[in-house]
Amino acid sequence: MATISGFQVGTALETADGTIVTGCNLENATLGLTMCAERVAMFKAMSEGYRAFTRIAIVADTENVTPPCGACRQVLWEFAGNLEIVMVTRSGETRVHRLEELLPLPFDGRLLNRQGQAPNR
């Protein structure tokens, strides 16, 4: 539903049991509150009870492969770990990466103290 930018993205997130959960980007007038396809699929899967994932395919209506944005990389890392990222263009060009290649120094729970709070800075 890229009604403003026309930049259409769809995803297919595969769970550990082989279930496919799909998502698309959803835009609104402020654009800053837009939800990317990757996060839509992840939040949908999590809300349906899935907790383990193997890969996500990202298909964009573009000439170039489109990797996940920074916010999506962070969400994918926190909920799915080092999953496989498959990026596909409208012409079928495909690139495959592991998430750790796209997010080499992630922020995650390992950096928080035992009480689950961010350390004092």
Domain that holds residue 25: 9-111
- Residue 3 lies inside a defined structural domain of this protein: no
Q: Report pLDDT digits (tens) over 12-55.
A: 999 999 999 999 999 999 888 999 999 999 999 999 999 999 99
If one counts the domains in the chain, the total is 1
- Residue 90 lies inside a defined structural domain of this protein: yes
- Residue 61 lies inside a defined structural domain of this protein: yes
Q: Is 38 a catalytic residue?
A: yes
| Given 38, 48, 63, 101, the catalytic residue | 38
- The pTM assigned to this predicted structure is 0.89
Q: Report pLDDT digits (tens) over 62-97.
A: 999 999 999 999 999 999 999 999 999 999 999 999
Helix (H, G, I), strand (E, B) or coil at 40: helix
- Residue 118 lies inside a defined structural domain of this protein: no
The HSE-up count of residue 12 (CA atoms within 13 Å, CB side) is 8
CATH number, domain containing residue 29: 3.40.140.10
- Residue 121 lies inside a defined structural domain of this protein: no
- Residue 69 lies inside a defined structural domain of this protein: yes
Helix (H, G, I), strand (E, B) or coil at 121: coil
